[in-house]
Amino acid sequence: MVVANLGYVAYTTLRLSYSALAVLVLASAGVVYHRTGKRGGALLAIQRYRRRIAGDMDKIAHDLFSGSRIVRIHGVYGVFGDKLRELDGWQQAVGVLANAVLFTRYLWQHMVDTALSLGMVGAMLLTDANSWQLMPADLQLYYETASKSLGLLSQLANLQVNATNHALVIQEFCDVGNMTPEAPWHAPSKRASIAKPPQGRIIFSCCCLRYKLGDKLALQRVSFAIRSGERVGIVGRTGSGKSSLLQALLRMVELESGMISIDDVDVRKVGLHDLRQSISVVPQTAALIEGTVRSNIDPLEQHTEAEIAAAIQSCQIGDLGADKRIEAGGGNLSAGQQQLVSICRAVLRRKKILVLDEAMANVDEHTEQIISAVISREFRHSTVLIIAHRLEATACCSRILVMDDGRLVEQGPPALLATRDGHYARLLRAAAGTASHKA
């Protein structure tokens, strides 16, 4: 349709005066302005931001529904509600801004339409300036030309709006296609592998980590060494960089600079599968699949019935039994039972490095004591990292690493750090004040 209109306008333009031709050229310049103006880029950026806000809202809603029981226990529905209301407000504000950009686009379109109409009238009058007389056929020709030109301009403007919206989708696909691929699962050389038998020595050397280009560093030149069999607690306020250490260790996010080594082997030279298979991680929320206790603690069926029974007995979940059915996400188990099943999985794997990432944050005191006893008994020769917000969870550790704003600000035995007027002592005082306030 657009091509046909272009042809018709070109044909009729040849039959008009030079003045009319000049008017049409000016109108075409207006169309070019619409197609190349800054409003297209602004609308593209606005649409991208709206999609990002919608994605954040979907994520919060998913987290709220999937963890509704924990949210209900802690009574923090208001936190999620406030965040959703804030995002909804931003989404509406961005929507108003998008409408304003579209309004200015259509305003310019109508201004150009009006200018084109006036130009056509002027061309019509100038065609026969001496006699001021027009034949009916000429009048019809001018009318048809003006109508076709205005329709063509509107179609081009609408095409630009649609092209802008589709360009955003294409750009997102291109961004995904240009993402840096994940490292190989297996190292090309057998020499680039964790030592066997593994020792569990971990060294961070001047590690800097950044989640996205343009963001601030999540880890800033962090350096420390953990001996084989050492039990280390990692503490700090929310956002201090505790979990970023785990992200870097497992290569969930690659370091910007620095090096991490396990048993003197650079983890960047080790395949991702080989690296992650050498470490057991117990997260804050247990990852449970629909099936039995047996299929959850031994999903690859690599262990004997005797080993499974011993692990279940050690973690004091014998009342569940190996054949106990578990719903997806562990919906038919308490929070403590879910975490004990997760601990049981780590006991069965018996890796030389164990990481507990806020593993005792959502369990009661009795379950916490069971988990601490299991760690002391089953992992006494393993390297254990306990990432915790509550300092009580690190009571069994021989050394504490204190993180603050992505930096390692203190480290040492907990008893020694408590006597200093430093970050750890302030965390202790804050925890004591919170406990007395609750009491």
Q: What is the CA radius of gyration of the chain?
A: 34
Name residue 392's beta-bridge partners: none
Share of the chain above pLDDT 90, in %: 28
**Mean pLDDT across the stretch 57-84?**
74
- Angstrom CA distances, 270 to 195, 228, 266, 277, 352, stand at 11, 19, 7, 11, 16
pLDDT tens-digit map of 135-176: 666 656 666 666 666 666 666 666 766 676 676 677 777 777
120: burial class by Cβ within 10 Å (0-12, 13-18, 19+)? buried
Choice between 50 and 166, residue whose per-residue pLDDT is larger:
50
Name residue 279's beta-bridge partners: 353
Q: Which amino acid is at 58?
A: D
pLDDT tens-digit map of 259-298: 999 998 999 988 888 899 899 999 988 888 888 999 999 9
pLDDT tens-digit map of 380-397: 999 999 998 888 888 889
CA distance linking residue 172 with residue 178, whole number of Å? 10
Choice between 358 and 46, residue whose per-residue pLDDT is larger:
358
Confidence bin at 130 (pLDDT 50/70/90): very low
Q: Which two tokens stand for residue 310?
A: 């011993």
Residue 346: left (phi > 0), alpha (psi -120 to 50), or beta?
alpha
Q: Name all domains of the chain by residue range, CATH numbers in brackets.
A: 2-177 (1.20.1560.10), 202-286+349-438 (3.40.50.300)
| pLDDT confidence of residue 413 | 93
- Angstrom CA distances, 203 to 100, 263, 279, stand at 55, 8, 15
| pLDDT confidence of residue 232 | 95
pLDDT tens-digit map of 206-234: 999 999 888 899 999 999 999 999 999 99
CA distance linking residue 21 with residue 374, whole number of Å? 89
Q: Which two tokens stand for residue 431?
A: 């925890």
The separation between CA 435 and the C-alpha centre of its own chain, rounded to angstroms, equals 34
CB 9 within 8 A of CB 149: yes
CA distance linking residue 371 with residue 388, whole number of Å? 14
Query: Contacts for 412-416 with beta carbons within 8 Å, 24 or more apart?
Result: 414/233
pLDDT for residue 132 is more than 60 = no
Q: Which residues contact 424 (CB under 8 A, 6 or more apart)?
A: 235, 400, 402, 410, 414, 417, 418
Average pLDDT of the chain, as a whole number: 78
